[in-house]
Amino acid sequence: MLLEMDSITKSYGSVTANHNVNFNLRKGEVHALIGENGAGKTTLMRILYGMERPTSGEIRINGKAVAFHDPTDAIGQNIGMVHQHFMLFPAFTIAENIVIGREPTKGLKFDRKTAMEETLNLSEQYGMPVNPKQKVADCSLGMQQRVEILKVLYQGAEIIILDEPTGVLTPIEVKELLISIKKLAASGKSFIIISHKLSEIMEVADRITVLRDGHITGTVNATDTNEEELSKMMVGRELVKLERRKLEYGDPVIDVQSLSIKGAKAKPLLDNINFNVREGEIVGIAGISGNGQSELLQAISGLIPYDQGTITIQGMNVTGASVKQIRESGLAHIPEDRYLWGVSKDATVSDNGIMGHLESTSKYGILQGKLIRNLVSEWVQRFGIKTGSLSTKAQYLSGGNLQKLIVARELAKETPFLIAAEPTRGVDVGAMEIIHGELLKRRDEKAGILLVSSELTEIMKLSDRILVMYEGKIAGELDATVATEEQISLLMAGGKAVG
């Protein structure tokens, strides 16, 4: 047994992230670690990589007990980690990113020439071609991930941890990655893959360990199980199927014509976007993040300017209008990054809650405490937002509860048009169901919703129509009742729709 993690427990105060977890890895094995958000997967791997210390338990490598005080110790034991959010230096070249920490030197000089040569050799040896001179900032996400993997190989990793490796890849890049993993495993490297993408796991893993709420619910051989069983082990219960009524669609609540943003790079950020969303309809935009979805939403809501195009909301031309004017024309917006756009961390729950509701909570320009309290506490009740009080600062709320607050706030405006961007990101399953239910309720109330999500299952579950974005264009439009995952994935990867 190459690696043994024995009875690992990790507590942060009263919260236990890992509870007596046992995990082991054989040489040349691909062992997947799966579970929902917050199940404890990342915590366990951070312990293995030396970024955290276990509260109790032991780690053994080749039978010998080891203790890691920081990543350097783990690297010293030939463990390498490719993080979910890449740990790269955008301004540096690929070669510099790979050799950092073990730079080849000529005397006192950093021998960049040798670094390039070694990078080329490495990439050839493992069959992952890269251009050592290219700056990482100019690389695609798939290429960046390749750099990350080459980096840990350069450091001599025998055990490679991949944390959610396929989240930002196109389907083609995912296939290439899985092939690389299998090749490397065949040559003796061992992999631990953290993921929640069951189909990919089934394709590449030898063994699968399932975590739920910090406990292990099972370790199985991939050949002995299937996706449904794994799902059940991950979630612990049957997910409720939501009823969807077939409705008559009304007039468009938003109409986007010829929307384009040039941007600084060769490819435009948005390229001639045309679509609409009608009353009583949920239009889902599928696509890998980074294909223009963020820019599209920011353009619609007035946060960024655009070079060309017209946008009409409820028949009113809002081209070039300010954020305030656009909101007043009937838009509400659940932002894709709640910490960046959706809240002010130092402000209280009530303060965060009244953004956009200032008219209804003030008289003659003065805020009315009672109105604010009534408004926000109703949301706390209905959505089950766990907070100490209305005066608790937003930074003390968990991500899921903060998201519930934001969703409540935006839905409460009961606008005819709603943007819901990654509405259930980082949110637990229970909260997800509540939010999905509320979105469908608005739809039934004849609102038009533009849903953007990188979770295909969410798109397929809620949308009436599906648009796929690729490289700033709308690559295709599908009727949600008949669209298949294959069709959507193909469009997401830039392929052409068939039929």
Partner 1 sequence: MKSSLQSLLQPLIAIVAGLLVGAIAIVIVDGNIVETYREMWNGAFGNFYFFTSTLARATPIILVGLGASLAFKAGFFNMGSEGQMVLGALTAAITAVYIPGPGWFKAIAAIIAAMIVAGLWSALAGWLDSRFGMNLLITTLLLNYIASLFAGYMVAYPFKDSTTNSALSQTQMIDKSVFFPKLFSGMTLHIGFVIAIVATIGLFLFIKYTKKGYEIRMLGGNPLFASYGGVSRGRLMVASMLISGAFAGLAGASDVLGTSYRYLDGSLVAANYAWTGIMATLLANSNPIGTAIAALFLAALQTGGMGMERNTDVPLEVSSIIQAVLILFITAKFTMSFIKRKKAGAKDGSTN
Partner 2 sequence: MDQLIDVSLFAAALRMITPILLAALGGAICARVGLFNVGLEGLILVGAFSAILGNYLTGSITMAILFAIGCSLLFALLFAYMSINLQSNVIVVGIAINFLAAGLTTFALRAIFNVKGAYYDKDMQGLPKIDIPLIKDIPWLGDVISGQSILVYVSIIIVILLQIYLYKTVSGFRLLAAGENPTAARSIGLPVRKIQYLAVLLCGALCGLAGAQLSLGNVTMFTEGMTSGRGFIALVATMLGQSNPIGVAGASVLFGFMEALSYRLQNFSIPSNLSAMLPFVVTIIAMIFFKNNGYKDDAKKSNGSSR
Q: Which residues bind partner 1 (CB under 8 A)?
A: 12-13, 46, 50-53, 70, 301, 303, 322-324, 327-328, 333, 335, 340-347, 351, 354-356, 358, 362, 365-367
Are the C-beta atoms of residues 47 and 8 closer than 8 Å to each other? Answer: yes
CB of 231: closest distance to partner 2 in angstroms? 27
204-224 burial, b for 16+ CB within 10 Å, e for fewer? Answer: bbbbbbbbbebebbeeeebee
* 72 in contact with partner 2 (CB under 8 A): yes
Contact of residue 87 among partner 1, partner 2, none (CB under 5-8 Å per partner type): partner 2
Give least dist CB 409 to partner 1, A.
10
Query: Which tokens is 209 given?
Result: 């360990």
Residue 85, contacted partner among partner 1, partner 2, none, CB below 5-8 A by kind: partner 2
User: With CB cut-offs between 5 and 8 Å by kind, which of partner 2, partner 1, none does residue 55 bind?
Assistant: none
User: How many C-beta atoms lie closer than 10 Å to residue 476's C-beta?
Assistant: 20
67 CB burial (10 A radius; 0-12, 13-18, 19+): exposed
* 52 interface partner picked from partner 1, partner 2, none, CB below 5 to 8 A per type: partner 1
CB 403 within 8 A of CB 338: yes
Query: Residue 472 touches which of partner 1, partner 2, none (CB < 5 to 8 A by kind)?
Result: none
- Among residues 12, 56, 62, 101, which is the contact residue for partner 2, using CB under 8 A? 101
Q: Which of residues 138-197 bind partner 2 (CB under 8 A)?
A: 155
Nearer to partner 2, 92 or 126 (CB): 92
Give me 241's structure tokens.
């199927």
Contact status: 51 vs partner 2 (CB under 8 A)? yes
User: CB-wise, 290 or 495, nearer to partner 2?
Assistant: 290
240-275 in b/e burial notation, b at 16+ Cβ within 10 A? Answer: eeeeeeeeeeeebbbbbeebbbeeeeeebbbbebeb
Using rule CB under 8 A, residue 339 touches partner 2: yes
Question: Judged by CB, which is closer to partner 2: 405, or 462?
Answer: 405
Q: Which is nearer to partner 2, 394 or 419 (CB)?
A: 394
49 and 25 in contact (C-beta within 8 Å)?
A: no
DSSP 51-80: SS--SEEEEEETTEEE--SSHHHHHHTTEE
HSE-CB at 143 with a 13 A cutoff on CA atoms is 16
Which CB, 83 or 409, lies closer to partner 2?
83
Q: Which of 113, 324, 345, 441 binds partner 2 (CB under 8 A)?
A: 345
**Residue 359 CB, nearest distance to partner 1 (Å)?**
9
Q: Does 396 bind partner 2 (CB under 8 A)?
A: no
Say how many residues touch partner 2, by CB under 8 A. 29
Burial of 15 (C-beta count, 10 Å sphere; 0-12/13-18/19+)? exposed
* Residues with Cβ within 8 Å of residue 478, at least 6 apart in sequence: 465, 466, 467, 468, 487, 488, 491, 497
Nearer to partner 1, 181 or 343 (CB): 343
Tell which one of 62, 105, 187, 319 touches partner 2 (CB under 8 A): 105
Helix (H) or strand (E) holding 126: none
Element holding 89 (H helix, E strand): none
Instruction: Please say which residue, 105 or 322, places its beta carbon nearer to partner 2.
Output: 105
Helices (H), 414-479: 429-444, 456-462
x/- map, 108-137, partner 2, by CB under 8 A: xxx---------------------------
Query: Between residues 72 and 381, which has the closer beta carbon with respect to partner 2?
Result: 72
The nearest distance, CB 112 to partner 1, in angstroms, is 26
Q: Which residues contact 224 (CB under 8 A, 6 or more apart)?
A: none
| Shortest distance, position 267 Cβ to partner 1, whole Å | 25
Minimum CB separation from partner 1 for residue 391, in Å?
11
110 binds, among partner 2, partner 1, none (CB under 5 to 8 A by kind): partner 2
C-beta closer to partner 1: residue 106 or 324:
324
Restricted to residues 79-98, the positions that interact with partner 2 (CB under 8 A) are: 81, 83, 85-92, 96
Say which residues have a Cβ less than 8 Å from residue 69's Cβ, sequence separation at least 6: 50, 53
Residue 351 touches which member of partner 1, partner 2, none, C-beta under 5-8 Å by kind: partner 1
Nearest to 430 by CA among 398, 391, 383, 472: 383
The item of partner 2, partner 1, none sharing an interface with residue 96, based on CB under 5 to 8 Å by kind, is partner 2
Answer yes or no whether residue 28 interacts with partner 2 by CB under 8 A.
no
If the CB atoms of residues 264 and 366 are measured against partner 1, the closer one turns out to be 366
Residue of 442, 440, 467, 425 lying closest to 336 (CA atoms): 425
Q: Residue 8 is which amino acid? A: I
Task: Check binding of 100 to partner 2 (CB under 8 A).
Answer: yes
| Residue 154 beta carbon to partner 2: minimum distance, rounded to whole angstroms | 11
* Identity at 138, one-letter amino acid code: D
Closest distance of CB 19 from partner 2, Å: 26
Phi, psi of 414 (to 5 degrees): 50, 45
Distance of alpha carbon 384 from alpha carbon 379, whole angstroms: 8
Interface residue list for partner 2 (CB under 8 A): 51, 70-72, 75, 81, 83, 85-92, 96, 100-101, 103, 105, 108-110, 155, 337, 339-340, 344-345
